[in-house]
Amino acid sequence: MVKIAPSILSADFADLGTEINNVVKAGADLIHLDIMDGAFVPNITFGASIIKALPRHPGVEFDAHLMINQPENNLQSFLDAKVDRLAIHVESTIHLHRVLQQIRNAGVKPAVALNPSTPLSSVEWILEDVDMVVIMSVNPGFGGQSFIESMLSKVEQLKGMIVKKGLSTEIEVDGGVYPGNIRSLIDAGMDIAVAGSAVFNQPDYKQAIQDLKQA
Ligand code: DX5
Ligand code: ZN
């Protein structure tokens, strides 16, 4: 069964605690946290101190997605915020392997994210070192953008790489996921769907998550 990770980027920022409690009640499997620095992407969101203040629910992982340049400079604060998964972008650091190792050593699941134009070959030699690969299916920075169709075969090819290496690395797809395209992504090999607008911009969160899971 596909896991759904609602992105609080599209939630009501004035009432984040309630929003998280409500999507968990509605069936969210993970909570996706989009951290933006205004440099790696043209938008600024929130940092570790906000994450620390958010309500936690047993069994519902905090899935942090760092869209910041040189994440090594701020890594410790996100590790201290006790997220469960921490994704850094391939394009954001020169020493990708070292940063992933630091995340692993802190007891957090390391993950790597790829911009739409970044080739899969960029993760070939670190695939063994991550628990999850995030395929960006929009250009990072904003919620509510349209899914880039060519990312479907990127997911398919990544799944092939993972199977060929005999790994159990999870594939997360982030951006523009809706009930209308989720079936083809699951068939291509996606394990976790990030959903911002498809959950938080809907009137009924439970119905929205059900629509994604049953598509
Ligand atoms: C984009 C973020 C996504 C975004 C997804 O930079 O990484 O997580 O919030 O939002 P939707 O589902 O609306 O495309
Ligand atoms: Zn994200």
| Segment 190-201, tens digit of pLDDT | 999 999 999 999
User: What is the tens place of the pLDDT at every residue in 136-183?
Assistant: 999 999 999 999 999 999 999 999 999 999 999 999 999 999 999 999
Cα 97 to middle of ligand 1, angstroms: 25
Q: H-type helices in the chain, by residue range?
A: 16-25, 48-53, 75-80, 96-105, 151-164, 179-188, 197-200, 205-214
Joined together, the tokens standing for residue 197 give 């607008």
User: What are the φ and ψ backbone dihedral angles of 46, each rounded to 5 degrees?
Assistant: -145, 170
Terminal CA-to-CA distance of the chain, rounded, Å?
11
What pLDDT score was predicted for residue 207? 98
What pLDDT score was predicted for residue 127? 98
Cα 143 to middle of ligand 1, angstroms: 4
Ligand 1 binding pocket, CB closer than 6 Å: 7, 9-10, 32, 34, 65, 138, 140-141, 143-145, 174-177, 194-198
Between CA 10 and CA 176 the distance in angstroms is: 12
Tell me, yes or no, if 29 is annotated catalytic. Answer: no
**Active-site annotation holder among 34, 63, 191, 211:** 34
What pLDDT score was predicted for residue 110? 98
175 assigned ligand-binding residue: yes
pLDDT band at 99 (very low <50, low <70, confident <90, very high): very high
pLDDT band at 31 (very low <50, low <70, confident <90, very high): very high
Between CA 8 and CA 23 the distance in angstroms is: 10
Cα 174 to middle of ligand 2, angstroms: 6
Q: Which residue lies with its CA nearest to atom 4 of ligand 1?
A: 143
Which positions ≥6 away from 180 have C-beta within 8 Å?
215
Between CA 72 and CA 52 the distance in angstroms is: 19
Average pLDDT, the chain: 98
What pLDDT score was predicted for residue 202? 98
Q: Which domains does the chain have, with CATH numbers?
A: 3-214 (3.20.20.70)
Contact 4, 41 (CB under 8 A): no
Tell me, yes or no, if 129 is annotated catalytic. Answer: no
What pLDDT score was predicted for residue 121? 98
176 assigned ligand-binding residue: yes
Torsion (CA) 35, 185, 62, 122 in degrees, nearest 10:
-60
What pLDDT score was predicted for residue 116? 98
